[in-house]
Structure 1
Amino acid sequence: MKIETKYHGEKEIKNEDIITFSSGIPGFESEKEFTLLSFPDNDVFYALQSISTPSLSFVVTDPFSFFIDYNVQIDDATIEALSIEKEEDVTLLNILTVRDPFEETTANLQAPLVINKKTNSARQLILTGTPYETRHSLFQAKEA
């Protein structure tokens, strides 16, 4: 199927590339289907693109590329809702707030996206009782 995207123009995607957020993403509850698109010449940042709304795309990253000690406990409700069987089936991503200059970009470590790679089901997990915040500097973390 062809979709219009915010950063990549028109893209051809396969049904198996659709990630389903059954409850949407907080603030975007009506948006249920997304796909991950790579940026050219880049293996760290991705666009989490809505299938139905071309202008809705989140820049995301693997938190472990920047925050080596990032530690998330996935609650039983999320494990059950996403039918997670093994740790290897899980991909964690964090939504970025892209700033200008780019070096001031921050990551939302308090609300990671949890994706079951086997089923392509996902949800945003809101962490409580952790030191993580919604705006952690990406590049200060990398320098530390």
Structure 2
Amino acid sequence: MNIETKFLGQVEIDEQNILTFETGLPGFLDVHKFVLLPLDADLPLVVLQSVEQQQLGFVLAYPFAFKKDYIFEISEEEKIDLQVEEEEDVIAYTIVTLKETFSESTMNLLAPIIINTKKKLGKQIVLQDSKRYPLRYPIGSMEGSAK
């Protein structure tokens, strides 16, 4: 199936890779179907692209590549929502706000996107530790960041 994307133009996707966000995303509660698309082979980035709305796409980063001590717990309710059976079925991403240079960009460590890769379910969760994990954490200040 072909879809139009915000960042990559027209892309062919496998319908089996479509992720369902049952409750949508904050600010986009009526949009439920997304797909992950590779963005840059040199950086741990992907695009979370809506299958339903061409102009809705988010650049996501694999946060552990930039901040090795990033750690959080998923609540039992969130595990149920995502139908998590095994920890290895889950992957976390953070939404990136791109700036003029990549090192000036920020990641939202406070509200990671959690994806159950086995069940093809996703959810954005909000962590309670806002002092430890801010909404706009500079990528350039993270250890091991790509510049």
In which range does the TM-score fall when normalised by the shorter chain?
over 0.9
Preserved CA contact (<8 Å) 2:96 2:107: yes
Count of aligned pairs = 144
Q: Does 1:75 align with 2:75?
A: yes
Please give the residue correspondences for 1:1-144 in structure 2 after superposition, counting only pairs within 5 Å: 1-130=1-130, 131-142=132-143
Shift of the alpha carbon at 1:41?
3.2
* Identical amino acids, percent of aligned pairs: 36
Mean alpha-carbon deviation: is it higher for 37-46 or for 89-98? 37-46
The RMSD of aligned alpha carbons is 1.4
Write out per-residue CA displacement over residues 6-54 of structure 1, whole angstroms, 9 at most, x where no aligned residue. 1111111111110110000011111111111112433411111110111
Matched residues in 2 for 1:23 and 1:138: separation?
A: 28
Query: Cα deviation per residue 1:64-117 (whole Å; 9 max; x = unaligned)?
Result: 000100011000111001110111000100001111122110000000011001
> Which ranges of structure 2 fall in alignment gaps of 5 or more residues?
none
Is the deviation greater in 13-22 or in 33-42?
33-42
Structure 1, unpaired ranges of 5+: none
Question: Equivalent residue of 2:143, what SS?
Answer: helix
Q: Which amino acid aligns with 1:51?
A: V
**Alpha carbons of 1:41 and 1:23: their partners in 2 closer, same or farther (altered >3 Å)?**
same
Instruction: Say whether the 8 Å CA contact 1:66–1:139 is kept in structure 2.
Output: no
d(CA) in 1 for partners of 2:62 and 2:27?
Answer: 22
Instruction: Work out the CA distance in 1 between the residues paired with 2:29 and 2:49.
Output: 15
Question: CA contact under 8 A between 1:113 and 1:122: conserved in structure 2?
Answer: yes
CA distance in 1, matches of 2:144, 2:94: 19
State the shift of 1:143 in Å: 5.2
SS at match of 2:127: coil
